[in-house]
């Protein structure tokens, strides 16, 4: 305690808590974290405002390439189950775009580049998507489970349609008749916040403040049950079965 303060204000000043250098440093970090959280909150709010600006008509409409999607095959569309399969298609239909009407892309084969038709398939929803789509019991009978590995080398469950032959691809002009509304001041402020946060690599710090820690994909457990017979000889398997029977 400074003796000059005690002499000037008396011993009453001893009852006040004066911050140490370490406490002042800690308060600087806390103030900085609060400012980061405020910026993150403002950025989320501005992005939400930008998303909700709405659309405005484009006059005159313009064509930008071609779009491709699935429709019911002619014989299926004429059948009595057309409405049933139409409801399924509305949930698993996919749309693709190309500047070429034939939807061909360059692909190297045997050292030479050739034009091949771009592949397009029906949606194979993940397990959580399949639940949200709210298929009926009758519609669920037309799907089967498929296990595959994602980009993080983790097993994921997907659902695949059993009879894709019921749908065929159709190509139509891609007509643009409306555009997203824009706000120059809103976009300018968003860009300023993004430049500050991403330029200084503060995204990790914000995630830690909001969630307590950053997500690590390698901490995820395997959701599939491991086989008890893996890497075991026939004799070991028989001994195991014999023990369970006894």
The residues spanned by each domain of the chain are: 3-54+181-215, 55-180
Strands 112-117 and 104-109: antiparallel
Going by C-alpha positions, the residue among 33, 62, 80 that lies closest to residue 209 is: 33
pLDDT of residue 223: 47
Cross-strand pairs, 70: 169
pLDDT of residue 210: 87
Alpha-carbon distance 202 to 223, whole Å? 33
Say how far residue 31 (Cα) sits from the centre of its chain: 32
pLDDT of residue 154: 85
pLDDT of residue 112: 84
pLDDT of residue 212: 77
Each residue's pLDDT tens digit in the chain (246 positions)? 455 555 555 555 555 567 788 888 898 999 999 999 999 999 999 999 999 999 999 999 999 999 999 999 999 999 999 999 999 999 999 999 999 999 999 888 777 888 899 999 999 999 999 999 999 999 999 999 999 888 888 889 999 999 999 999 999 999 999 999 999 999 999 999 999 999 999 988 898 888 876 555 555 545 455 566 667 777 787 787 777 776
pLDDT of residue 45: 95
Tokens linked to 57: 């008509």
Say how far residue 171 (Cα) sits from the centre of its chain: 28
pLDDT of residue 50: 93
């Amino acid at each position: 305690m400074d003796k000059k303060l005690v002499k000037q204000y008396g011993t009453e000043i001893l009852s006040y808590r004066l911050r140490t250098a370490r406490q002042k440093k800690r308060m600087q970090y806390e103030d900085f974290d609060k400012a980061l959280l405020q910026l993150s909150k403002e950025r989320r709010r501005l992005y939400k405002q930008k998303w909700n600006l709405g659309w405005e008509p484009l006059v005159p409409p313009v064509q930008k390439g071609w779009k491709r999607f699935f429709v019911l095959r002619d014989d299926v569309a004429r059948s009595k189950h057309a409405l049933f399969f139409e409801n399924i298609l509305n949930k698993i239909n996919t749309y693709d775009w190309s500047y070429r009407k034939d939807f061909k892309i360059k692909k190297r084969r045997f050292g030479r580049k050739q034009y091949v038709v771009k592949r397009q398939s029906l949606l194979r929803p993940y397990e959580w998507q399949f639940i949200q789509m709210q298929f009926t019991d009758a519609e669920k009978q037309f799907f089967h489970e498929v296990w595959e590995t994602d980009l993080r080398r983790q097993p994921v469950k997907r659902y695949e349609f059993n009879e894709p032959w019921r749908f065929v691809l159709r190509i139509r002009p891609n007509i643009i008749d409306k555009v997203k509304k824009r706000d120059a001041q809103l976009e300018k402020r968003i860009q300023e916040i993004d430049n500050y946060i991403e330029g200084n690599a503060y995204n990790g710090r914000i995630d830690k403040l909001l969630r307590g820690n950053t997500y690590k994909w390698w901490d995820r457990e395997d959701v599939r049950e491991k086989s008890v017979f893996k890497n075991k000889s026939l004799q070991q398997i028989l001994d195991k079965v014999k023990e369970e029977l006894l």
